[in-house]
Amino acid sequence: MNRLLWLPLALILALLVPVLLGGSDLLARLRAFDPGLMLGLLGMIVLCWVINTIRLRLLLGNHRTRLGRLRSLGVIMATEFAICTTPGGSGGPLTLMALLARDRIGPAHSGAVFAADQINDLLFFLCALLGIAGYTLFHTLNRSLEGLLLSSALLMFGVLIGGVALVTYRQVLLRLTGSLLRRLKVSTAKRRRWTRKVLHFFRALAETWRLPKRTLALVFALTCLHWSLRYSVLYLALLGLGVNLQWILSFLVQMLSLSAGQFSLLPGGAGAAELTSATLLTPMVGKSTAAAAIVIWRAVTYYFYLIVGGPVFLCLLGRPLLERLRLRLARARR
């Protein structure tokens, strides 16, 4: 029950930040926002879902024939809903594996697809950080932004190096883990089962990276398109509020805010993302504009995922679980 309370508490905290920041001017700024532009922003998110569906099908390779295009879209929406409602997005890979397992795609392969997808995301953000670093050579950023940019770059490079080391020295990792499990008195059967699962995952990951180079290049191009669209939401929201902040600055604010949200371990970074973005945006655009922009940005890139993705998640995962429960109750009555 305590876990179920995390999401509503996080949502309340997330709403309090812009409300307290914007004060009495917030509602007036939101009412003045163009409804047509709002629909356009929501349409961009729908397009992002379609792009991610194509990415998923490309990374699945020959396995994509086991699920249709519409179901692939449902899998993406349900997975992103799980990411938005669990600490650090931890529910995302579990949801993806559970859904793909119903289409006879094993957890090793679905886990490898998720890992390859995350690696593409990481490469995009590393390229973006390099581009922003080049931008700072000719433009001045305030020191707080520069410090956050440097720390984010170091963190991403560390994660990338750690991932490469993990794949390169996997045999050493397996031996060390096996020794640790032996000391913890884990049974031989369980240790062997765990080792087989890890080896299956690495084989599936290698199989994913052996896809044709054109396919991998297309996946990365779609990754760049997806994040460019999603990270244009705040820029367009500010433009609709009458502020022409540079796109690269709005991109940096979103990246740093969402990174802070991930480290907060709150569902979807709710609260932490709003607080960080408010801290970064307010000196640039003022309190009322920052508050209104944050509400619009999070409504499009977070609450919309919950409202639309929730029913899809319940349909794909909740309905079968309820059906199993119903059958068990029926058997118990007999």
| pTM of the complete model | 0.86
**Mean pLDDT, rounded, for 242-251:** 88
Residue 293 has pLDDT above 70, yes or no: yes
pLDDT of res. 320: 63
Higher confidence at residue 241 or residue 192?
A: 241
Which parts of 210-271 fold into alpha helices (H)? 213-230, 233-240, 247-264
pLDDT of res. 273: 87
Q: Shortest CA distance to 226 belongs to which of 120, 72, 69?
A: 120
Residue 152 has pLDDT above 90, yes or no: no
Higher confidence at residue 235 or residue 189?
A: 235
Determine which of 20-34, 161-175, 253-267 has the lowest per-residue pLDDT on average: 161-175
Q: Which amino acid is at 212?
A: P
Reported as a single tens digit per residue, the pLDDT across 198-216 is: 777 878 888 888 899 999 9
pLDDT of res. 1: 42
Residue 329 has pLDDT above 60, yes or no: no
Q: What does the alpha-carbon distance between residue 125 and residue 265 come to, in Å, rounded to a whole number?
A: 20
For the chain, the average pLDDT equals 83
Higher confidence at residue 108 or residue 220?
A: 220
pLDDT of res. 223: 95
pLDDT of res. 160: 72
Residue 89 has pLDDT above 80, yes or no: yes
Q: What does the alpha-carbon distance between residue 277 and residue 252 come to, in Å, rounded to a whole number?
A: 10
Q: What is the DSSP string of 52-97?
A: HHHHHHHHHGGGGGGS-HHHHHHHHHHHHHHHHHSBTTTHHHHHHH
**Mean pLDDT, rounded, for 155-170:** 71
Residue 282 has pLDDT above 80, yes or no: yes
Reported as a single tens digit per residue, the pLDDT across 54-71 is: 999 999 988 888 888 999
**Mean pLDDT, rounded, for 269-291:** 87
Q: What does the alpha-carbon distance between residue 129 and residue 317 come to, in Å, rounded to a whole number?
A: 37
Reported as a single tens digit per residue, the pLDDT across 5-59 is: 666 777 787 888 888 888 778 888 889 899 999 999 999 999 999 999 999 999 9
The percentage of the chain sitting over the pLDDT mark of 70, rounded to a whole number, equals 86
Where residue 196 falls among pLDDT bands split at 50, 70, 90? confident
pLDDT of res. 328: 59
The percentage of the chain sitting over the pLDDT mark of 90, rounded to a whole number, equals 31
pLDDT of res. 79: 93
Q: What does the alpha-carbon distance between residue 81 and residue 236 come to, in Å, rounded to a whole number?
A: 24
Q: Shortest CA distance to 41 belongs to which of 297, 333, 319, 212?
A: 297
Q: Shortest CA distance to 64 belongs to which of 116, 119, 110, 121?
A: 110
pLDDT of res. 225: 96
pLDDT of res. 292: 93
Where residue 144 falls among pLDDT bands split at 50, 70, 90? low
**Mean pLDDT, rounded, for 326-330:** 59
Residue 228 has pLDDT above 90, yes or no: yes
Where residue 140 falls among pLDDT bands split at 50, 70, 90? low
